[in-house]
Structure 1
Amino acid sequence: MARTGLTSINDVLQRLPSSGGGLSSKFNNSGNLGNPPDGGGVGAGAAEIDLRYLGSRRVLVLVDGLRYVNGASASGVPGSTDLNSIPSSSIARVEVLQDGASAIYGSDAIAGVVNIITKSSQQGFNASAQVGGYAEEGDGLTQDYQLSWGNGSTSPLRIVVGANYTKQDAVFAGDRALSAFPEPYDNACRATCSSFTPNGRYTGSIFVGGNATLIAPVLGRTATPADFRAFVSPADRFNFQPFNYLQVPLERYGAFANIGAEIAPDINLSVRGTWNRRESKNQAAPLPFGFGPTSGLTPTLSNLIISRTNPFNPFGVDLGGANNNVSAVFRRFIEGGPRRFSQQVDTAYGVATLDGKIGSNWFWDVNVSYGRNEAEQTMLGNIDSSKLARAVGPIAQCTAPCVPFNFFGGAGSITQAMLDYVTFEQNDSSRQTQFNTTANLSGSMLQLPGGPLGLALGLEYRKLTGRFDPDPIVAAGFSSDIPAQPTRGGYNVREAFAELNAPLLSGITGIELLELNGAVRLSDYSTSGSNTTFKAGINWKPFRDLRLRGSWAQGFRAPQIGELFGSQSRFDEVLDDPCSSHASNASPRRFANDATIRAACIAAGVPANGSYQQANAQISVTTGGNQALRPEESESLVYGFVYSPAFSRGLSIEANYYKIKVDGAIQAVPRSTTLLNCLLTGDPAVCGLITRVNGQLTEVEGLLQNIAAIKTSGLDVNISHRGIDTRAGRFAASWNATFLSKYDVFVPGPSGTQLLRRAGQQVGSPAQGFPKVKSIAVLDWDLANVGASLTGRYVSKLREPTGILKSVFYTDVQLRLNDLDLLRGLGLAVGVNNLFNVKTPGCVSCESNNFSQAIHDIPGRYLYARASFRM
């Protein structure tokens, strides 16, 4: 961790070859990305870990072996842990189990378990300060300060306390060539730039040519029909990219305390507590709003009518509604500034543990924990469409404080008085709580030929609650940005488990050790009923240097609060309409080349002459929770070996093959599948999920269901040497790699089950890369008080619909000085990540900032310096 130069435990974990990524500070989820349509809703500033590309909800995060409270960012009720809510100063080490473990730990442990071990003892003070950033670009400055103190492990009363502060500055998309425009490494607007422009795009029969914009902004007077000209694409489109963040700004404050004491012979009491505050921001381009039946906006805006008496109406007739003289007006609200989102997330977590032993072989512990995660989000730059409707309606109804609104003057024509009337400060909030109690007993029962038979038993009860409350104006449907509805719910679960370890044989020829282990867990959920999972494993050491092992495990993941009780929420997804006349590689079956598609499109209102062209790439997607969801079920197989030869002390060679199958995976039917299903089958139930206005695609609906299956397999290889001493110093090396051989997703398709092969692919909405090879190698050198590390990180190439993302190899270097003669306990380190400034592959299918955030680095060399001191 110290040798990466990273200040977030999440960023460190995402370097694991088995990590699929997850949310991080490189995700600027805001604006028309909306609330993720998977029941999650974690927004900017959150950090998650994804193992095996199975999603963060299928990874169980523990703190000191106990479940931690789920995160929240005031945009939903997620089923994942926000690692940014754990104070970094409290972390001693992290254990990662890359194996299915539901039988041992319960729900969510399908892909693996991350167990964060906090500091339980420390002698004296430890302090560190680190500063880093992209020096050549002059941005992304990050500061990290940590302080902790402990009274030592020998005292009857053991105390460890600490605090930390982290501040991370923004990196703007417009400051990198990769993301300055919607197309990667572009220098001008293409068709992917927005139709929502500062001067407006006006479509409909009343406008010149049916597709118009202003010749120039009209200020100080009312526009006339002569002020309009034909809209030219892409020259008149708007570049929204420079307003986005490549790295979101955030601050984290954290504190922890761990106090333990022996209260009676063989009985100990410990109390642990953490508190953390995250203040983060994210940003999107000024609000895209407008009106008209094909605008694809909210119902209020789509049905808006500009009265003929509005003083800024240049045509003297009512515009919109049943008049059929306006298709859509697209306006970029630059006068209101960017859409700015600010989150404040407070997390409190406490544990009390009573433990002891019975005799010499049995140990027991009882734990009670409570966690609460509360988030508030403020958004600036939004419009109350109910006030807007009044401001553009009949002038007689627009009495004070109403101010008539100007839709037709272009950039700068919306005055401060207009702004003050139609805008509002949006305030959203969310909260999750978890109460958990466990009781465990472990020990050895009898002696087997290979050693004592080990047994562990336990009981667990937990209760979770969650809520999400959008601003009342948003909930009423009058927001001009992404609409959302309140969500609240909860559930409780009772569990019992048993784990057995049986060393059958040891110390004989060909069997240095042979042991079997197994586990079973019974779970009873108040929402989804009961479930039983099993796990079995074998360890065999034919001789001292070699261990062979294998395990088979069942797993499950109970649906989370957001998935069960989540209300309908919207997400604007990049979708390709097969009815559109534009060329595309994403949908090979299209209006122009498929008679079935063409007939269905014409029946849906698309012009028969092939003139229809999709107005916007981003289409509104509406998805909600489903209380009828069943738990996901999985089966995993892992087998491999560890070879530690006696002739080379410190050398370890490990390889493990894994195979995981998930059935009943919770997701909505892919929106592209829904579109194609409707056109090919004409099924009324499917077509009823699609909204078209005059043929123009405006919305696709869905519902979370147990519809998918996932099959993935691969190989993990780890080779390490703890160190070789030479006259030139001590050298140590490690190489960790994951080879992904298969990642297949099975979803409903137009003609039965559709197979989506993901290995080696880059997909969008949300962006996720599935590289076939991901690895990291580290070479360490230490001589007396001086040390250095050289790290290489490799990601293999990825294929997307429009091309190839080339493989990348990042090189990191660090130089260290420790325990200097002038001041014992002082440590200094300087380093550079991405030393050779490797070019980040541009991604066309990624819906945000043109790169795969979960896989690749932000462009640029990252330099850092750290000083640490202990006494």
Structure 2
Amino acid sequence: MKSLRRHRLTTAVHVSLLLSALPVVAFAQDATTDTTTGQQARTLDTVTVTGTRIRRAEVEGQVPVQVLTREDIDRSGFTSVADIVQNLTASGSALNTKFNSSGNFGFPPDGGGVGAGAATVDLRNLGSKRVLVLVDGIRWVNESSASGVGSSVDLNTIPLSIIERIEVLEDGASAIYGSDAIGGVVNIITRRSIDGFALNLHYGEYDEGDGATYGADFGWGGRTDRADWFLGASYYKQDDISAADRDISQFPVPGTGLSNGSSATPYGRFVFQDPNTGQVYSITPNTGATDPTYTSGEPDCPATRSDDFHCFTTDDRFNFAPYNFLLTPSERKSVFGQVHYDFTPAVTGYLKVLYNQRHSVNQAAPEPIFLGTDAGVYNHWAETDLVIAANNPYNPFGFDLTTVGPNANLFLLGRRPVEGGPRVYEQDVDTWYVNGGLQGSFGSEHVYDWDVNFVHSESSADQTNYGSYNLKRINEALGDVNACLAIAGCVPLNLFGGPGTITPEMLAWIQPVVHDQSENKLTSFSANITGDLFTMPAGPASFAAGFEYRKYEGSYTPDPITVAGEYNGVPSGATSGSYDVNEAYAEFNIPLTRDSAFGKAFDVSLAGRYSDYSTFGGEFTGKAGFRWQIADELLVRGSFAEGFRAPSIGELYGTFSRFDATLQDPCSGAGATLPNCVADGVPAGYEQPNPQISVVTAGNRDLQPETSHSYMLGAVWSPTWGTNSSWSEKFDFGVTYYHHTIQDAIQAPDAQTILNRCVATLDAEACSHYTRNANGAINSFNDILDNLGTINTDGWDVDLGWTVPSQSWGQLRVDWRNTFVGKYDLTNEVGAKEPRSVGIETNDSAIPEWTSTLATQWHKSNWGVTWTMRHISSLTESCAGADGFPICDVSSTANTPSLNHLGSVTYHDLQVTWDTALFKGLQLIGGVNNLGDKDPPVCLSCSLNGYDASTYDLPGRFWYVRANLKF
């Protein structure tokens, strides 16, 4: 007879009906008959849940674990892992396919690249790199973005079809799992087997008739006396939505017209000094004017002109927004299989293999070409070595325009070659995962479970960029015409004639196809053992212990023209590095009392892990918790945990890269006369030439780990008057308080904060980050990673679950999940608070004070209906240079900046299911997300598309249909 301990959940699985605050109760049982009483008794099997490595029959623990079952996943209406976990109330802002990343966000300072086409998860607003993602308890490889070495897991590499359930631990767990588990753990449990075949088909689109999502999943599984297996394949495709197809995304900043448009236009903007007269001009061709007779009294432009140019004004700016994607297209194909085989009654072997392929696309407006001393693009071909020769046949001014030496007279040339088409970034990402191992048990009086496993996984990405330019070749094509013609293939370039004047021959010389590559690898070996040490008066003392070895390898290889410094886009250097870690851990659960004056039960748990990294040495983390079952209906629990996060490969070894930040220079316009601006070298009349200021960042090999402390205290109440009564089959209420403190957080200081601090105080450290040229423009901004600042956050999870007994009209179930963020403070290296805080929208992310999900489920016979309400509380943001526009609802004063109010949003989702009798095993599902057609609030500071894509749904209703067939 097989050992009962090797069968998980053989008769029943119970998952607590409470949500994020409620612990998970899972048990397995085999029924046997007592020969004396004739009644059946249950023998509890042992299982392991996220948050502990101890296998035991009763796993209601010291930490909150939220379990999303397969039924929960299907009821959500979402078709990706990321969409599901990003809609948890404890989730913060994270990357998803609503971000049109490439070409717009540049390179983030962690060296991870823009993550184009990827999707991540953030818990407790601590960042995706502080969340550990596991698959069946084993670490998953970090993403490859093709533009850096990522430090987060791309959830798009894990197909939804292979998932049995998702367990989310909302507590620090470094002592249990090691690095990265500061904000929490997402453990994805795969389908081990099914009986027969399963086919799932789905289709959905927005009510505008776009953004179609469709796919198919196929599964086959079975079992014999000694083996069980599962094989699945899935296909998923998501079509794009253009930013031009929604009102909110048609302009760079909704409600402000062209004020935040680009000064790089299809007609061109030219800021230069005439060497013959000393006059400075800021002009554009009349053909590009809204009103060709418009005159201006700007200090760098004469009031009137008699030639073919006029003074550049806001009306001449370029609206780049309609060229962007509001929803990025993505196509994913995957195959997954696993098999378990009992070699003996006490030893089982297993093998799991996954291959996932993703093709995704991002698109941005035609790439601007910025030349001149004020261009701020960190490229000598554009800023210090350029000469637009007087003999260039397209130079209309009759003299050299140059950035060279003391005679430099070209300050800014902004031209957007629409002839070259939009920037298109195509990513092809391949992910491999192989996991094999043995598991078993031994012992008689005390039975011990053990396992050993080996994992190797790789994620590699290739990104192809169409629509960019080679600055060296632009330089050659603008220079002396005879020198250009002496170079094979060089064609003189016309940047002055307006749209249509850059010919295909000119484009062939200056427009390359750019290829970038990146790769992440993870190799891991671990061995674990768990069981009961000895029996105490209150029960057995149990433990888990083990060893783990991991090796991380990563690289990013940009295109040769990028390495050579010729790329017109975001410059970056190659990155390559690796490190390994050896770890040992031990965990104990000690029952102190049972059925005493102190209540039903009181247990304590202790855990510790020592990690030895090849990059910085050793680190120890510990954790302690308690579980106090005061009565059958009341449980109190708490924990204290130390945590750490090792610096990633990108953070350690990332080389030169640039992040194009949207910043407001306090010294622009009227601010130029401020005493500190004058002292900073800003001349009177200075106007910020471009809202984007390039910030250079890089990794730091001297980085040390981030460290953290986490506290959790919660209670679960299941009153007897709400159990098995006429009005309530079960009623549960839970509340959890959490607190996280992270010290030595790895980050680059916020660029806007640095700029504001320098201007306000002339603080030497802040002012050392950037320099200005003679015209006042910021021409360098350095922001290198370091162990800076502290993060403090706390809040509450409050949850309720209620099941109404079955009636003639059916059965009703209500689940209400709430997260209230009480505090989120991020202080920088000098102890000053950074802008990010509760109720504030900043840097394309938000921390709402209250997020809530209320799900009401009704079912009767073969029918089921689910109505879900998702609520996000209101936010505020700086008007980000949009002062004076009606959208700013708080007027600016000397002490009160102008603010934009982002109202609260509640989404309504509806789903209907029918287990049809037309065909055995067929289930039909239809639903609508955002049934009320609620638009996201307008965001002025967001980089793209007029709203925060990490917090809100896309504008419009999304309807879908599904068919699930088992046979």
TM bracket (short chain): over 0.9
Deviations 1:260-287 (A, max 9, x none): 1011230000000111001000011001
Decide which of 799, 814, 829 is 1:748's aligned counterpart. 829
Decide which of 257, 262, 279 is 1:189's aligned counterpart. 257
TM-score scaled to structure 2, two decimals? Answer: 0.85
Kindly report which structure 2 residues correspond to 1:576-587, keeping only aligned pairs within 5 A, or say none.
576-581=664-669
Kindly report which structure 2 residues correspond to 1:723-762, keeping only aligned pairs within 5 A, or say none.
723-749=804-830, 753-754=832-833, 756=835, 758-762=837-841
Is 1:830–2:914 an aligned residue pair?
Answer: no
Superposition deviation, residue 682 in structure 1: 4.9
Is 1:309–2:391 an aligned residue pair?
Answer: yes
Kindly report which structure 2 residues correspond to 1:499-648, keeping only aligned pairs within 5 A, or say none.
499-581=587-669, 590-592=671-673, 594-595=674-675, 597-601=676-680, 604=681, 606-607=682-683, 609=684, 611-647=685-721, 648=723
Is 1:811–2:908 an aligned residue pair?
Answer: yes
Kindly report which structure 2 residues correspond to 1:288-299, keeping only aligned pairs within 5 A, or say none.
288-297=368-377, 298-299=379-380
Contact between 1:502 and 1:515, CA under 8 Å: does it hold in 2?
yes
Decide which of 795, 800, 805 is 2:872's aligned counterpart. 795
Distance 1:522 1:285 in 2: 50
Deviations 1:324-368 (A, max 9, x none): 332111001111100000000000001002011012410100010
Superposition deviation, residue 227 in structure 1: 5.5
Deviations 1:656-708 (A, max 9, x none): 00011000000012212332444456566654431322211233111100011
2:422 is matched by which residue type in structure 1?
Answer: P
Contact between 2:469 and 2:568, CA under 8 Å: does it hold in 1?
yes
In the alignment, what sits opposite 1:585? none
Decide which of 176, 185, 191 is 2:246's aligned counterpart. 176
SS in structure 2 of the partner of residue 387 of structure 1: helix
Kindly report which structure 2 residues correspond to 1:259-658, keeping only aligned pairs within 5 A, or say none.
259-297=339-377, 298-303=379-384, 304-322=386-404, 323-360=407-444, 361-399=447-485, 400-581=488-669, 590-592=671-673, 594-595=674-675, 597-601=676-680, 604=681, 606-607=682-683, 609=684, 611-647=685-721, 648=723, 649-658=729-738
Distance 2:852 2:860 in 1: 27
1:391 is matched by which residue type in structure 2?
Answer: A
Contact between 1:812 and 1:833, CA under 8 Å: does it hold in 2?
yes
SS in structure 2 of the partner of residue 847 of structure 1: coil
CA 1:380–1:756: 2 relative to 1, 3 Å? closer
Superposition deviation, residue 42 in structure 1: 4.0
Distance 1:279 1:178 in 2: 27
Distance 2:918 2:408 in 1: 83
1:838 is matched by which residue type in structure 2?
Answer: K
2:904 is matched by which residue type in structure 1?
Answer: S
Kindly report which structure 2 residues correspond to 1:650-729, keeping only aligned pairs within 5 A, or say none.
650-679=730-759, 682=762, 686-693=766-773, 694-729=775-810
Distance 2:833 2:802 in 1: 45
Which range moved further: 52-61 or 839-848?
Answer: 839-848
Contact between 1:217 and 1:413, CA under 8 Å: does it hold in 2?
no
CA 1:273–1:198: 2 relative to 1, 3 Å? same
Contact between 1:281 and 1:341, CA under 8 Å: does it hold in 2?
yes
Distance 2:513 2:764 in 1: 41
Kindly report which structure 2 residues correspond to 1:817-856, keeping only aligned pairs within 5 A, or say none.
817-818=914-915, 820-856=916-952
Superposition deviation, residue 316 in structure 1: 2.4
1:382 is matched by which residue type in structure 2?
Answer: S
1:311 is matched by which residue type in structure 2?
Answer: P
In the alignment, what sits opposite 2:959? 863
Deviations 1:621-654 (A, max 9, x none): 1100000001000000000111122332432211
Kindly report which structure 2 residues correspond to 1:3-22, keeping only aligned pairs within 5 A, or say none.
3-22=75-94
Distance 2:104 2:820 in 1: 35
CA 1:525–1:238: 2 relative to 1, 3 Å? same
Distance 1:76 1:83 in 2: 17
1:805 is matched by which residue type in structure 2?
Answer: L
Superposition deviation, residue 753 in structure 1: 3.4
CA 1:42–1:618: 2 relative to 1, 3 Å? closer
Is 1:214–2:320 an aligned residue pair?
Answer: no
Decide which of 835, 848, 853 is 1:776's aligned counterpart. 853
Q: Which runs of 5+ in 2 are unaligned?
A: 1-72, 290-304, 724-728, 879-898
TM-score scaled to structure 1, two decimals? Answer: 0.95
Distance 1:131 1:321 in 2: 56
In the alignment, what sits opposite 2:146? 74
2:194 is matched by which residue type in structure 1?
Answer: Q
Which range moved further: 507-516 or 102-111?
Answer: 507-516
Contact between 1:189 and 1:238, CA under 8 Å: does it hold in 2?
no
Percent identity between the aligned chains? 42
Distance 1:612 1:199 in 2: 23
Distance 2:644 2:353 in 1: 30
In the alignment, what sits opposite 1:586? none
In the alignment, what sits opposite 2:316? 236
1:564 is matched by which residue type in structure 2?
Answer: L
Distance 2:865 2:311 in 1: 59
Distance 1:507 1:379 in 2: 68
Superposition deviation, residue 32 in structure 1: 3.9
SS in structure 2 of the partner of residue 429 of structure 1: strand
Which range moved further: 438-447 or 694-703?
Answer: 694-703
SS in structure 1 of the partner of residue 175 of structure 2: helix
SS in structure 2 of the partner of residue 109 of structure 1: coil
SS in structure 2 of the partner of residue 301 of structure 1: helix
Kindly report which structure 2 residues correspond to 1:10-89, keeping only aligned pairs within 5 A, or say none.
10-89=82-161
- Give the strand-richer structure, 1 or 2: 1
Deviations 1:814-845 (A, max 9, x none): 01101x22211001011010101112100111
Contact between 2:753 and 2:834, CA under 8 Å: does it hold in 1?
no
Distance 1:469 1:757 in 2: 33
Superposition deviation, residue 38 in structure 1: 2.3
Contact between 2:611 and 2:619, CA under 8 Å: does it hold in 1?
yes
Contact between 1:718 and 1:736, CA under 8 Å: does it hold in 2?
yes
Superposition deviation, residue 510 in structure 1: 4.2
Contact between 1:45 and 1:281, CA under 8 Å: does it hold in 2?
yes
SS in structure 1 of the partner of residue 604 of structure 2: strand
1:631 is matched by which residue type in structure 2?
Answer: P
Superposition deviation, residue 523 in structure 1: 0.3
SS in structure 2 of the partner of residue 419 of structure 1: helix
Superposition deviation, residue 215 in structure 1: 1.5
SS in structure 2 of the partner of residue 296 of structure 1: coil
